[in-house]
Amino acid sequence: MMLRKFSKLQRSSLLMGIALIALATLASPPLAFSQSCALCYTQAASAGNRMIEALRSGILILIVPPTLMSVCMIFIVHRKRNQFRQDDAPDSDRSW
């Protein structure tokens, strides 16, 4: 019974957090999302379709590898989080 109340509390706090993040995102000015490099804008505006596709591919090439590396690092850290934790060390007098 106590576990159900705790999980409902967690769910409601999670939903509240998501709602606050969505509200903050919607309340922020739209110009903040549309900032871009002036050089990229002028080059893309004066270029043809082939150059625009090359620019899009370049952006993906620059974004995808760091994102994948970050996700992999988070996954590894999440899986290894308890490897060095020793909760019942007998000679440890420190409470961390």
Q: How many CB atoms sit inside 10 A of residue 52's CB?
A: 13
pLDDT tens digit sequence for 51-66? 878 888 888 888 999 9
pTM value surpassing 0.85: no
As a whole number of angstroms, the distance between CA 22 and CA 64 comes to: 24
Q: Cβ neighbours of residue 52 under 8 Å, at least 6 residues apart?
A: 44
Q: Quick check: is 57 in a domain?
A: yes
pLDDT of residue 34: 54
For the chain, the domain total comes to 1
Which regions in the chain score pLDDT beneath 50? Answer: 1-3
As a whole number of angstroms, the distance between CA 87 and CA 92 comes to: 10
- Domain with 57 in it: 35-81
Q: Quick check: is 27 in a domain?
A: no
Q: Quick check: is 60 in a domain?
A: yes
pLDDT of residue 22: 85
As a whole number of angstroms, the distance between CA 51 and CA 41 comes to: 12
- SS3 label, residue 88: coil
Q: Cβ neighbours of residue 51 under 8 Å, at least 6 residues apart?
A: 43, 44
pLDDT of residue 29: 66
As a whole number of angstroms, the distance between CA 26 and CA 19 comes to: 10
DSSP 79: H
Q: Quick check: is 90 in a domain?
A: no
